[in-house]
Chains A and B, each alone.
Chain A
Amino acid sequence: MDEQALIRDAQAGSLDAFNTLILHYQDSLYNTALRILGDEDLAADATQEAFISAFKSIGSFRGGSFKAWLMRTVTNACYDELRRQKRRPTTPLEPDSEEGEEMDSPAWLADPGMSPEQEAEADELEHALQHCLNDLPVEFKTVVVMADIQGMDYSEVAVAVRVPLGTIKSRLARARLRLRECLQGFTELLPASFRLEEGSSAS
């Protein structure tokens, strides 16, 4: 895929070229929205909104990381959604578990090639992480999702959230520490293979 050529065509108004870019990036954007919002339907809506907004404003893309630029649009769409939720809070349709936490649907399971045990472990891990992510302030959550889940480098994250590199470093460090503290509460729940490593060397 010649990304630069597709971007140029999309800037000239080609929807086909932009749709090719969408197919390439849709999983990344959807996962980012999913981790920020913690809801599949809202994440899908935010992703769609982000791509519509991106196409309309693609003329403003001036080079650099296209993924970071797209991430900015999806982050904005997520912030809009969170603001909407604040204005009119809704009751989730999912039933609550005995612990009072929302139960995830079976569709939550990711890799169909996993064994039932692995699926259960992955589900536990995902559940625990999403729970802890939900407790983070949104600006911390956005940075940690992009850096640690999406694997973007600091400069890309800085472009995506439009804050200086130093702020990214600070937010990421504090987000990781907060997540660590939150995940401590899940130590017993987490399967052995996913338990936090302890006592490893610092080299």
Chain B
Amino acid sequence: MNRRDLELLSSYLDGQLKPSESARLESRLSTDPDLRAVLDDLRSTRNLLRKLPMRKAPRNFTLTPKMVGKNPPLPRTYPAFRFVTALASLLLFFSMGLNYLIPQLVAQPPAFGMGGGGAPEVYSAEAPAATEAPAAAAPAEEPLVQMAPMPTPTIASADTSREMETPAAKEGITGEPSVPDQAQVQNTAPRQEMAPPIPSIWLIALAGITVLGVVVMLFMRRLAAERWRQK
């Protein structure tokens, strides 16, 4: 039995041959008992396979949203709320940033001008606010150090200790609280006078939109999840 005849017989069994092929095969079958025997074997095997009982599924294979990683469908307006909320929160963030940074940037030039000719104590006192002050003061100190080499260690150690001291501790030690106090008052006065570039009402509105957006989105999600469960 060659492979071609086997395929012909198998297809003939399933009625898959063209009429001309079927007629040719039938004429061969009528004269060839071996061919007929193979056809019978194939038919018997097919019949046995067809008799194989169909087993019932051991359980239902229905899917849950969790199994397919599917989230409940959200309303069509959800993306709009998400966009508005994200935009409002970004604007709020930048507005607050600008309100904080701009007064500082505006206030810095007068601070340099006032501190330029002042005593070292002034700079060390306002070090937390203006970090560049000690660096600016350094050139002023250098000539002194060069002209009087002997007391250098004393001056340097005194300066270092001053810079490391907190303003409160410094006041206690030096007993000169009036000088830094005046400098601070002069320094902070322009900041208090300058109004923040972004009005507070705008910040409040943005914060309100952000909070409202988050609340609405949470509500939409919960509502969608409840509807999903009820299905």
Contact = CB atoms under 8 A, between A and B. Distances in A.
Contact of A149 (B29, B50, B56, B58): B50
Nearest to A35: B52
Contact of A200 (B43, B54, B58): B43
Given A196-B41, A197-B43, A197-B47, A26 B61 contact: yes
A29 B55 CA distance: 10
Given A154-B16, A173-B6, A196 B36 contact: no
Interface string B37-71: 01111111111111111111111111111011010
Contact of A34 (B30, B47, B55): B55
Contacts of B200: none
A31 B61 CA distance: 13
Given A31-B55, A52-B67, A22 B61 contact: yes
Interface string A11-45: 00101101100110011011100110000100010
A173 B11 contact: yes
| The 10 A-B residue pairs with the shortest CB-CB distance in the complex, in nearest-first order | A173-B10, A202-B36, A110-B53, A148-B49, A19-B62, A196-B44, A30-B57, A180-B45, A173-B7, A197-B44
Interface in A178-193: 179-180, 183
A27 B36 CA distance: 36
Interface string A45-87: 0011001100110000000000000000000000000000000
A159 interface: no
Interface in A148-174: 148-149, 151, 154, 169-170, 172-174
A52 B7 CA distance: 36
A95 B58 CA distance: 22
A126 B45 contact: no
A125 B6 contact: no
A2 interface: no
A27 B54 contact: yes
A174 B68 CA distance: 39
Contacts of A44: 57-59, 61
The B contact surface, by secondary structure, is helix
Given A174-B6, A201-B36, A51 B63 contact: yes
Contact residue range for chain B?
35 or more
A55 B10 CA distance: 35
B58 A126 contact: no
Given A173-B42, A196-B45, A201-B36, A122 B53 contact: yes
Interface of B: 3, 6-7, 9-11, 14, 16, 26, 29-30, 35-36, 38-65, 67-68, 70, 73, 231
A114 B30 CA distance: 40
Nearest to B17: A169
From DSSP, what is the main secondary structure of chain A's interface residues?
helix
Given A169-B16, A180-B42, A194-B48, A18 B63 contact: yes
A173 B214 CA distance: 65
A195 to B, nearest CB: 9
A51 B10 CA distance: 32
A170 B3 contact: yes
A177 B54 contact: no
Contacts of B55: 27, 30-31, 34, 110
Query: Which of B36, B44, B65 has the most CB atoms of chain A within a 10 A radius of its CB?
Result: B44
Contact of A23 (B29, B41, B60): B60
A116 interface: no
